[in-house]
């Protein structure tokens, strides 16, 4: 589920850095479900291998975090399709769990 959550934030945010994604996940999820930075990067690496996320380089050096410019990541069209497909699956299961009709 964590990869889906990360992809969902990218679909909302557009090109963004890791810290911004983690901040948004912290707003949306219970603390125990927010991935650590190493876990976040493992998910991003996997999504990059799948062609779902691309690295757009770095943001303005004036916005450096930890002494280095932050890498910007963005959702690719394939990533948008993947997150949309997963969202539809979750929606169907949620409707079923709540006693709604199957689709």
One pLDDT digit (tens) per residue for the chain, 103 residues: 788 999 999 988 888 888 889 999 999 888 888 898 899 999 999 999 999 999 876 655 545 555 666 688 999 999 999 999 999 998 888 888 888 765 5
**Alpha-carbon distances, residue 74 vs 4, 30, 31, 95 (angstroms):** 14, 24, 24, 30
Looking at domain 2-97, its CATH class is mainly alpha
- Nearest by Cα to 15 from 61, 63, 75: 75
Predicted pLDDT at 62: 46
Phi, psi of 11 (to 5 degrees): -65, -30
Could you tell me the pTM of the whole model? 0.75
């Amino acid at each position: 589920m964590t990869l889906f959550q990360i992809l969902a934030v990218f679909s909302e945010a557009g090109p963004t850095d890791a810290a911004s994604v983690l901040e948004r996940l912290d707003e949306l999820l219970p603390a125990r479900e927010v991935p650590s930075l190493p876990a976040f990067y493992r998910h991003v690496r996997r999504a990059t291998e799948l062609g779902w996320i691309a690295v757009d380089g770095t943001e303005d050096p004036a916005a450096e975090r930890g002494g280095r410019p932050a890498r910007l990541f963005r959702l690719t069209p394939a990533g948008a399709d993947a997150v949309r497909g997963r969202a539809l699956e979750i929606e169907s299961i949620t409707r079923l769990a709540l006693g709604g009709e199957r689709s």
